[in-house]
């Protein structure tokens, strides 16, 4: 793992190919030549793709089958393939200490330019998918890189992509990057393991000495232990947090951190397990935290502390403290008389309405009976769960029809309907017009204004 830096050498781009952004910073990419409608279409699709990819790596899944269904709806078919082989990568823009204090507007523009370069570099590599956390001020982009079957190209594909991105960022922004590439995983069920390993690799890349080596990939001794963090392990840890049981959580940590490797391997594996557990803590906090995201941000910012842990006992102690914070939040929400729990469920539905949400799966996710979930939702939200999901889907569909960038079939898929006829029927029942007629009616009305 290294911290990537570059000198002043030009990396294969000529200045007559470059464009300037709003602040006069030269970018190494020409402006898109597609028309405005196509640009809006691609932007809308990209935003929804990125949002779902972030949910995939950080949140508890309803089921692998529903995740794959949503990937196909979002035109991310390669990620839904059975036995897909992936590597996750995390890349952070390195800003010189003297420039960190620049005005926020300038920094935000710099981050946007960095994201644009990352997205365009990913778009130029088949099977590479970029996403970011729009709620974070950290200039970090993430990538899912599908491994090719050709063995001669497979081994170094992720590192080759990181080097290409390094060159593009240096040429466009005159800045370096820190990059971490996670261990290769097989199958979506291990995706969060791969994501945790790339976060750990990024932590090492940040602290490495420039020029000290070329290894960006998490070492194999830790990669071999990825299988130790199974779906069953995740489910047990999640249950101990969301049906708060401090003793059960501690026992799960003791079992998880039973390491028999040599000292060097033990520390690396320990840090991976800590990072992976932190994702579970963040997922539980995201479901149950009421009235803000303070706890979620605190957990996320604990990454560096966990990456610096010196022993399994140290890691367990830190995780136990964080776990107590999460369990306290869960208890508070569950003891609210139903109001805060109903709000937590409503918030989850609002963020995931395009997935195949059903009362039984939601009830299991929030550890209540189906009857209790339906009662709480109707009492505190005001309408039945199914009606609320339909309302959210139709509101999104109406907005996209008005913007006139997406095809009706695409709008149906993005709203969570795999069968177009189901979408048309639901939309007509909701608005009184079929989607095509609604779009024509709206556009004609706008022409009269």
Q: How many domains does the chain fold into? A: 3
Residues 6+ apart with CB under 8 A from 9: none
What pLDDT, on a 0 to 100 scale, did the predictor assign at position 11? 34
**At which of 183, 218, 253 does a domain end?**
218
Rounded CA-CA distance 195/201 in Å is: 10
Does position 162 have pLDDT exceeding 50, yes or no? Answer: yes
* Token pair in block for residue 173: 């922004």
20 versus 347: which is more confidently predicted? 347
Rounded CA-CA distance 96/49 in Å is: 32
97 versus 317: which is more confidently predicted? 317
Same domain flag for 185 and 205: yes
Buried b (16+ CB within 10 A) or exposed e, 189-211: ebbbbbbbbbbbbbbbbbebeee
Same domain flag for 252 and 111: no
Same domain flag for 256 and 393: no
Same domain flag for 163 and 189: yes
What pLDDT, on a 0 to 100 scale, did the predictor assign at position 225? 64
Which H or E run includes 87? strand 85-94
Same domain flag for 15 and 70: yes
**At which of 192, 218, 244 does a domain end?**
218
Same domain flag for 330 and 342: no
What pLDDT, on a 0 to 100 scale, did the predictor assign at position 14? 34
Percent of the chain with pLDDT over 90: 69
> pLDDT digits over 198-255, tens only?
999 998 887 654 444 333 444 444 556 666 688 899 999 999 999 999 999 999 999 9
> pLDDT digits over 297-336, tens only?
999 999 989 988 999 999 999 999 999 999 999 999 999 8
Same domain flag for 92 and 148: yes
- Grouping H, G, I as helix, E, B as strand and the rest as coil, residue 149 is coil
> pLDDT digits over 334-378, tens only?
998 899 999 999 999 999 999 989 999 999 999 999 999 999 999
Q: 243 vs 247, 275, 323, CA distance in Å?
A: 12, 22, 12
DSSP one-letter code for 218? P
The overall average pLDDT reported for the chain is 86
- CA 121 to chain centroid: 18
Looking at residues 104-125, what average pLDDT do you find? 92
Looking at residues 149-174, what average pLDDT do you find? 84
Q: What is the DSSP string of 10-27?
A: --S--GGG-EE-TTS-EE
Q: 209 vs 91, 214, 264, 333, CA distance in Å?
A: 17, 11, 19, 45
Token pair 């080596």 is found at: 213
* Token pair in block for residue 255: 């079992």
User: Which H, E and C letters describe 173-197, residue by residue?
Assistant: HCCEEEEEECCCEECHHHHHHHHHH
Q: Domain span at residue 447?
A: 337-449
Token pair 């491994």 is found at: 147
CATH code (residue 139): 3.30.70.270
pLDDT tier at 104 (50, 70, 90 boundaries)?
Answer: confident
Q: How many CB atoms lie within 10 A of CB 79?
A: 21
User: What count of Cα atoms within 13 Å lies in the side-chain half-sphere of residue 318?
Assistant: 25
Is 203 in contact with 307 (CB distance < 8 Å)?
yes
**At which of 218, 250, 273 does a domain end?**
218
Same domain flag for 297 and 201: no
What pLDDT, on a 0 to 100 scale, did the predictor assign at position 100? 65
């Amino acid at each position: 793992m290294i911290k990537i830096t570059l000198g002043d050498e030009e990396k294969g781009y000529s200045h007559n190919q470059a464009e300037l952004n709003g602040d006069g910073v030269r970018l190494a990419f020409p402006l898109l030549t597609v028309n405005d409608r196509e640009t809006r279409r691609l932007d809308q699709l990209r935003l929804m793709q990125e949002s779902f990819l972030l949910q995939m790596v950080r949140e508890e899944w309803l089921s692998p089958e529903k995740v794959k269904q949503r990937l196909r709806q979002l035109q991310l078919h390669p990620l839904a393939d059975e036995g897909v082989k992936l590597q996750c990568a995390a890349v952070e823009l390195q800003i010189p200490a003297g420039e960190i204090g620049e005005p926020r507007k300038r920094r935000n523009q710099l981050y946007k330019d960095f994201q644009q370069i990352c997205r365009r570099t990913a778009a130029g590599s088949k099977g590479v998918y970029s996403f970011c956390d729009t709620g974070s001020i950290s200039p970090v982009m993430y990538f899912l890189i599908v491994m090719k079957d050709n063995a001669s190209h497979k081994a170094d594909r992720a590192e080759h992509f990181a080097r290409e991105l390094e060159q593009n960022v240096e040429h466009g922004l005159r800045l370096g990057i820190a990059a971490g590439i996670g261990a290769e995983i097989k199958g979506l069920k291990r995706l969060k393991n791969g994501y945790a390993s790339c976060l750990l690799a990024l932590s090492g890349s940040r602290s490495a000495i420039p020029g000290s080596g070329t290894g960006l990939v998490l070492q194999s001794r830790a990669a071999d232990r990825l299988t130790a963090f199974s779906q069953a392990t995740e489910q047990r840890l999640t249950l101990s947090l969301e049906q708060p049981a401090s003793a059960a959580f501690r026992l799960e940590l003791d079992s998880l951190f039973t390491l028999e490797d040599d000292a060097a391997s033990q520390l690396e594996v320990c840090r991976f397990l800590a990072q992976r557990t932190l994702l579970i803590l963040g997922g539980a906090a995201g479901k149950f935290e009421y009235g803000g995201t303070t706890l979620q941000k605190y957990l996320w910012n604990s990454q560096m502390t966990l990456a610096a842990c010196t022993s399994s006992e140290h890691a367990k102690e830190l995780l136990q403290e964080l776990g107590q914070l999460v369990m306290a939040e869960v208890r508070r929400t569950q003891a609210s008389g139903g109001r805060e729990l109903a709000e937590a469920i409503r918030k989850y539905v609002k963020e995931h309405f395009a997935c195949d949400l059903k009362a039984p799966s939601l009830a299991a996710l929030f550890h209540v009976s189906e009857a209790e979930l339906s009662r709480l939702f109707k009492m505190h939200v005001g309408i039945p769960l199914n009606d609320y999901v339909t309302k959210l889907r139709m509101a999104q569909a109406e907005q996209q029809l008005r913007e006139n960038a997406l095809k009706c079939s695409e709008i149906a898929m993005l709203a969570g309907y795999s069968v177009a006829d189901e979408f048309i029927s639901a939309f007509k029942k909701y608005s009184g017009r079929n989607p095509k007629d609604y779009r024509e009616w709206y556009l004609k009305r706008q022409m009269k204004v």
